[in-house]
A = this chain, B = another copy of it.
Amino acid sequence: MVFVSDIPTRDMTIPGFIPVVPAGGVGSRLWPLSRPERPKFLIDLLGTGATLIQATVSRLAPLGTELLIVTGERHAPAVSQQLPDVPAANIVTEPSPRDSMAAIALAAALIEQRHGERIMGSFAADHVIPDADAFRAVVATAAEAARTGKVVTIGIAPTEPSSAFGYIHAGAPLADAPGAFEVQAFTEKPDTETAASMLAAGGYSWNAGMFVVSTSVLLGHLARLQPALESGVRQIAAAWDGPERAEVLARVWPTLTTIAIDHAIAEPVAAEGGVAMVPASFAWDDVGDFDSLAGLLRPGPDGAVRIGRDAPISLVDAPGAVVVGGTKPVAVVGIADAVVVETDEAILVLGRASAQRVKDVELP
C-alpha cells in the first residue's frame, strides 16, 4: 500500500538494500486500545487510514527491491491481510517471542541464504515519521556508512529532555563515511534531570532502535558475541525455504538466547568502536502512550482530541480532553486533560500527565 504522501519525489532505491520490519510488542501503555491480540502496529492510531505497520512499510518499500517483516505467529494473518503487496515468503513468522536479536538475526541469515550479503535496515513497525522523504534520505546515508563495515544507527535530534528513550552519545565525524559519526556509547533511559544535562552538554541523540548494517557484519559480530544464537539462526535460515522448516524451527528456535539487539550487539560493538551514527532531524515519535499520541493530533473546534471516534462528545469545564474509540456519547465534566478510552473490552479514564502509568492497570 502506497500513499500519495509516501510516493518518493525521486528514485530512492538503495542498491543491495533490504528493509526489515520487526513487528512485535503490544504497546501496553496504550491499553485498552492496544491489547495482546491487537498490538499497536496493527492499529490506525492516527486516523490516517493506514495502520502503523502499513505506514512503516509504505515508507520503506521504495528503498529496496523487497522487504522482510518478522512477526509472531499470532499476528501473521493480520499482517498478511494488512499488507497484501508483501509476498507470504517475506513475512517471517516467529513461533514465540525471543526479543529483538533473534528476530533481526533470523532476518539477516535468511537474507544471506536467499541473496548473499546485503545491507539490511531494521525499523520498528510502530513508529511515526511524518516526513518519509527526509527519513529515506537519512537511511541512504546510513546504508553508505554501513558499507564501511560499521553497525550504523540513526540518532534522532531530541526535542526535549525525555526520560522515555535511551540516548546515543556521538563522537567525531567518520572520515570514510560522509554524514556519519562514531558512537562513543549507548545510554539507558535517563531521568529527566540527567537528560537535561545531556542535552546541555550536546552530542546526545535519541535511540530509536534503528540499525543499518551489512548482513555479514551483523552475523560476524553475532558469531563472536552470541555464537549459539548465530549458528541457530543460520540453521533455521538454511531450512526455511525447504521441507524441513517446521522441524528445524521447532527444534532450534526455543533454544535461541532471548536478548535485545542493544545488549547483544549495539552496546558491546560500540565499546569496540564498531558503531556509527547518522543524525536525523526529521520528526519521530514512538507513540509510547496516550500523551504522546494526543500530542500528534489536533483538537477539534470543541477542544477535544478525537482518536478513532465519531460519536458525540460534550465537554463541560474539561479543557484538553482526549476521547478515544467507542460508539457511545461521552461527556467529560470538571476534569482537565482527561483521556477517555472506550473499546469493546474496557474503559480507561486517565489523567494525561499519568499516561506512562497505564501499564500498571491490573484487570482480568
Q: Is A283 interfacial (CB-CB < 8 Å)?
A: no
Give the residues from 343 to 363 in chain A that come closer than 8 angstroms, CB to CB, to chain B: 345-351, 353-355, 357-358, 360-363
Copies of this chain, how many? 2
Q: How far is the CA of A328 from the CA of B178 in the complex (A)?
A: 56
Q: How far is the CA of A358 from the CA of B360 in the complex (A)?
A: 30
Q: Is A342 interfacial (CB-CB < 8 Å)?
A: yes
Residues of B within 8 A of A5 (CB): none
Which 9 pairs across A and B sit closest by C-beta, in order of nearness? A334-B354, A334-B351, A331-B361, A329-B363, A335-B351, A329-B346, A333-B350, A316-B360, A314-B361
Residues of B within 8 A of A345 (CB): 328-329
Q: Is A338 interfacial (CB-CB < 8 Å)?
A: yes
Beta-carbon contact of B331 and A347 below 8 Å? yes
Once A316-B354, A354-B316, A357-B317 are accepted as A-B contacts, the answer to whether A349 and B364 lie under 8 Å apart by CB is no
Beta-carbon contact of A362 and B314 below 8 Å? yes
Beta-carbon contact of B334 and A346 below 8 Å? no
Q: How far is the CA of A361 from the CA of B313 in the complex (A)?
A: 9
Beta-carbon contact of A329 and B347 below 8 Å? yes
Query: A356 to nearest B CB, angstroms?
Result: 9
Q: Is A125 interfacial (CB-CB < 8 Å)?
A: no
Beta-carbon contact of B358 and A333 below 8 Å? yes
Beta-carbon contact of A316 and B361 below 8 Å? yes
Partner-B contacts on A (CB < 8 A): 31-32, 312, 314, 316-317, 326, 328-335, 338, 340, 342, 345-351, 353-355, 357-358, 360-364
Q: How far is the CA of A361 from the CA of B318 in the complex (A)?
A: 11
Partner among B349, B353, B363 whose Cβ is within 8 Å of the Cβ of A340: B349
28 A-B pairs with CB atoms under 8 Å apart are A32-B331, A312-B364, A314-B362, A316-B357, A316-B360, A316-B361, A317-B357, A328-B345, A329-B363, A329-B364, A330-B347, A330-B349, A331-B348, A332-B348, A332-B349, A333-B349, A333-B354, A333-B358, A333-B360, A334-B350, A334-B355, A335-B349, A335-B350, A335-B351, A335-B354, A340-B347, A340-B349, A342-B347
Once A316-B354, A317-B354, A354-B317 are accepted as A-B contacts, the answer to whether A333 and B347 lie under 8 Å apart by CB is no
Partner among B314, B342, B363 whose Cβ is within 8 Å of the Cβ of A363: B314
Partner among B316, B326, B335, B364 whose Cβ is within 8 Å of the Cβ of A347: B326
Most chain B beta carbons < 10 A, residue from A314, A330, A335, A340: A335
